[in-house]
Structure 1
Amino acid sequence: MDQYKEAGVDIAAGNELVHRIKKIAKQTRTRKNENEIGNFSGTYQLGSKSILASTDGVGTKLMIAQEAQVYDSIGIDCVAMCANDILAQGAQPLFFLDYLAVGQNNPEKLEKIVKGVADGCIDAEMELIGGETAEMPDMYDKDEFDIAGFTVGICETNDLLTNKLPQEGDILIGLPSNGLHSNGYSLVRKILFKDHHYSLDDKLEILNNESLKDELLKPTKIYVKAVKKLLESKLIHGIAHITGGGLLENVPRMLNEKLQAVIDTDAWEPNPIFKLLKEEGKLDDANCYRIFNMGIGLVLCVDPNNYQKVCSQLESENETYFKIGKLEARASGDSAIKLLKGGKNIQ
């Protein structure tokens, strides 16, 4: 059973839309560009350098923020979703613009939202250079709002992380998430509030007596500081940002058709929120790892010869990491990723 589709999100339809958009976008090409739509960020080559761009929003996590009337962290989520995507292609994010759509302009509330955007930009080491606020009372109720953002980054074209770099035998390193980040909230809301009638103020033992409000509004982790020196030292073959689609959909995006990622899910312990959602939603492992990040926010692909250097650099940044798998040759008919639990395939 596809519980995410029952909650109103159709991953297969989303993948079909991307496939259709690729055909449309090709018609707009004005110069040679080997990077297809479907990567973590868009790429525009300018001679020896490449400009990268990413745009995203926060999704239905906004509905939790609106109900809880907590506005000071949701902007961080918007920045993180864009900055981490730029990072995944090997670039340093440079600047950010936000777009706020509101039912009624409440300067005090909007200031808190934008302060969160600025906090995220500081963490991602980039500038907030502008944005747009649109007041649309016919579109939104007076207390409703939406936020989206746009990030631009840059790197040398030769330093782009493409699917040509990962090699058989490369090691996969997982950097932990701090929770749900900004994905899967349509299903989260269905499980916790529609099906089981929890309250945002409920403090649950499984969450170490933290309130659901605090758990669900933890801002998405930004990985720029942890990873940028690894990129500068050319120690990374690939990066996967684990967003919508989870490990199952996102890890294959950094690989070519000759490789398979083999990941041991026993290598780390998912955050308690995922255990709660799995139990209350009666989710199987395949659904969990296709919908949620399950405790891993970023996956690094590294040459075994560079593994210790990468670990040392992560430790110098006080970044926790897990050795979660490796790349193997993909046999004909095999999927791009194999998830193991107790040595058994869980897809």
Structure 2
Amino acid sequence: MGNKEDTPLTYADAGVDIDAGDAFIEAIGDDAARTSRPGAAVSLGGFGGAFDLRAAGFDDPVLVAGTDGVGTKLELARATGRHRGLGIDLVAMCANDVLAQGAMPLFFLDYFATGKLEQGVAADVVAGIADGCVEAGCALIGGETAEMPGVYPAGGYDLAGFCVGAVERGQHIDPSRTMAGDVAIAVASSGPHSNGYSLIRKVIERSRVGLEEEAPF
């Protein structure tokens, strides 16, 4: 009788489902494809995403990159079962940082990490990311889905996004160009987006307001 320690181990034995990961990539292909734009015809599954700056209409571009997450708004998404909006938020958090420097968002990549891949949840998030990319005008050219057993609790996951844009040389907006007399333009927000949710969650907890209830304020 063989020793248990001599039995070959697989990824499945370690809690990683390779087949589920492959099926997930297949499932999100249409969402990624609808983000295609000049410079990027989206097709997932490669080792890296490519973008053609010349096809996007740039002559002498400077690249501008931004990365961000959605913070503890993740906890509210898990509590309510509403995940798609987080994908839109993720793109907005990154694309807004690129836009603030005068650059046009061009392409986006996401990182989705979880203890066990739940395809429905992950697909909802990616569908939201695609929604955000379409709205921002950037292509979802790649990403990473990491299944890490033991790192995240059951049902837990984390998100990060990476947006790259471009601006023609000499038109990049940075603090060194700010001077007295410049006009400050404020754009009204539709809500807190993904900022300040640790405090917002504390207010909800103290107020004892149910997440499905109408806000009393």
Gaps of 5+ in 2: 1-58
Q: Distance in 2 between the 1:205 and 1:184 partners?
A: 19
Partner residue, 1:128? 140
Aligned residues with identical type, % of pairs:
47
1:162-206 CA-partner distances (Å, limit 9, x unpaired) = 22333322222210111111111111111221x222210121353
For residue 201 of structure 1, what is the amino acid of its counterpart? E
Partner of 1:87: 99
TM-score, with normalisation over the residues of structure 1? 0.44
Whichever residue aligns with residue 135 of structure 2, its letter is D
Distance in 2 (CA, whole Å) between partners of 1:155 and 1:80 is: 18
Q: Secondary structure at the match of 1:176?
A: coil
Q: State the Cα distance separating 1:155 from its structure 2 match.
A: 1.2
Is residue 115–residue 153 contact of structure 2 (8 Å, CA) maintained in 1?
A: yes
Provide Cα deviations, 1:79-110, integer angstroms capped at 9, x if missing partner: 00110100111110110000001121111111
Q: TM-score, normalised by structure 2?
A: 0.70
- What SS does the aligned partner of 2:151 have? coil
Q: Does 1:153 align with 2:165?
A: yes
TM-superposition CA deviations, 1:130-175 (whole Å, max 9, x none): 1110111201112111111111111122010022333322222210
Q: Does 1:142 align with 2:151?
A: no
Cα distance in 2 for partners of 1:69, 1:163 equals: 40
- Cα distance in 2 for partners of 1:57, 1:168 equals 33
Is residue 166 of structure 1 aligned with residue 171 of structure 2?
Answer: no
Counterpart position of 2:110:
98
Question: Could you tell me how far apart the structure 2 residues matched to 1:51 and 1:171 are?
Answer: 25
Structure 1 residue matching 2:130: 3-state secondary structure = helix
The counterpart of 1:198, out of the listed 200, 204, 209, is 209
1:112 offset after TM fit, Å? 0.6
Give the deviation of 1:50 after TM superposition: 1.3
What pairs up with 1:291-302 in 2 under 5 angstroms?
A: none
Q: Per chain length, whose mean CA-contact separation is higher, i.e. which structure has more relative contact order (CA < 8 Å, sep 6+)?
A: 2
- Is it true that 1:119 corresponds to 2:131 in the alignment? yes
2-structure distance, mates of 1:90, 1:126: 15
Report if aligned partners of 1:83, 1:124 keep a CA contact under 8 Å in 2: yes
* Cα distance in structure 2, aligned partners of 1:150 and 1:101: 14
Aligned residue pairs total 159
Root-mean-square deviation (CA, aligned residues, Å) is 1.5
Decide whether the 8 Å contact of 1:48 with 1:158 is kept in 2: no
Partners of 2:209 and 2:215 within 8 A in 1: no
Q: Contact between 1:100 and 1:134, CA under 8 Å: does it hold in 2?
A: yes
Q: What secondary structure is seen at the aligned counterpart in 1 of 2:109?
A: strand
The equivalences for 1:45-84 within 5 A come to 48-84=60-96
- Whichever structure has more strand as a proportion of its residues is 1
